[in-house]
Amino acid sequence: MTTVALYARVSSKKQEKNNTIESQIAELKSRIAEDKHELLDEYEFKDNGFSGWNLERKGLDALRDKVAEDEIDKIYIHSPDRLSRKSAHQMVLLDEFEKAGIEVIFLNHKTENNPESKLLLGIQGLVSEYEGTKIIERSRRGKLHRARKGCVSVISKKPFGYDLVKHVDREKTKVEINEEKAKIVRDLFEWVGLER
C-alpha cells in the first residue's frame, strides 16, 4: 500500500476563520481519492495561522519527521507557496523529500522529474516570494498612510488604558482614554517616579 500524506497551510487568523485551510484539505483529499489512495488521519499535516516565510512550523516539522522515518511515499500539497513563500526554502524541502524517495504532488503544478519542470517550479517559487514581498509592502504602505491621516485602525492591539471606538468607516475609528484603566497607568508611572 502506498502511504500518502497531505500538507496544508494558511498564514493568517482571518484565513483560518474563513476555513480556507479546510477548503485546501477538501481539495487535497479529493485528489488523493481520485488517485485511488487512502489517507490515514495521522498523515494529515496542517499549519493554521503560520507564515510561509518561516520554516519552523509545527505541522511541517511533524511531516519532516515522518519523512525522516521513511514512512511516506507521496505528499500532496495544494501549491508550492503553501509549502513555503521563500523560494530557497521550497527548494531545500523539495530536495529533502526527493532524497527520501518521496513523490510530491501539487494540485496546481504538474511535477515531473526533469530539468524543465524543476526550472518552472523554481521560477514559480521566485514569483511567489516576490508576490508575498509586494503584499507586505502594500500593507505597510497602507497602514502608514492611514496612520499619517490620524486613523488608529492600523494598530493591531490597543494600548492598555485605552478603548478602541470602532466606526463603520475605518477612517473614523479612534481610541479614547479609559479613565478606570488610565488611573492604573498613572499610578504605575508615579510609583516608578518615586523610586528614583
Residue 51: active-site member: no
Place of cell 495544494: 78
Closest CA to 107 of 76, 137, 151, 133: 76
Catalytic residue among 11, 84, 87, 128: 11
Closest CA to 9 of 65, 53, 71, 42: 53
Across the chain, how many H-helices and E-strands are there?
A: 7, 6
Instruction: Give the residue among 103, 104, 75 at the shortest CA–CA distance from 4.
Output: 75
What is the DSSP annotation of 22-80? HHHHHHHHHHHHHTT----GGGEEEEET--TT-S--HHHHHHHHHHHTT--SEEEES-H
Catalytic amino acids? 11
